[in-house]
Amino acid sequence: ERNAKRIYPEGDLASNLLGFLGRDQEGLSGIEADYDHQLGGVAGESVFERDVYGRQIAYARRQITPAAPGDDVRLTIDRYIQRAVEAELDRVIKEQNAKGGTIIVEDPRTGEILAVASRPSFDLSKLDLSNPEQASLYRNRAVTDTYEPGSVIKVVTMSAGIDQGVVTPDTTYNDTGTVSIGDWQIHNWDNSANGETTMTQVLQFSLNTGSAFVSQALGSQSFYDYLQRFGFGEVTGLDMQGEASGSVRTPGFDTWSPVDLVTNSFGQGMSATPIQVINAVSAIANGGFLMKPHIVKEIIGTAGRKGIEPETIRRVIS
192 is catalytic: no
Paired with 290 in beta bridges are 314
**Number of alpha carbons in the 13 Å side-chain half-sphere of residue 187:** 4
Local structure of residue 305 (DSSP, 8 states): E
Residue 255: burial class (beta carbons within 10 Å; 0-12, 13-18, 19+)? exposed
Give me the catalytic one of 29, 130, 151, 271.
151
User: Distance between CA atoms of 270 and 227, rounded to whole angstroms?
Assistant: 11
Residue 5 has a CB neighbour count (10 Å cut-off) of 6
Q: Which of 226, 208, 233, 223 is nearest to 258 (CA)?
A: 223
Alpha helices (runs of H) in 191-273, residue ranges in sequence order:
199-204, 208-218, 220-229, 258-265
Q: Before 258, cis peptide (omega within 30)?
A: no
Could you give phi then psi for residue 268, rounded to 5 degrees? Answer: -110, 150
Under a CB-based contact definition with an 8 Å cutoff, are residues 155 and 203 in contact? yes
User: Distance between CA atoms of 74 and 117, rounded to whole angstroms?
Assistant: 18
Q: Hey, which residues are catalytic here?
A: 151
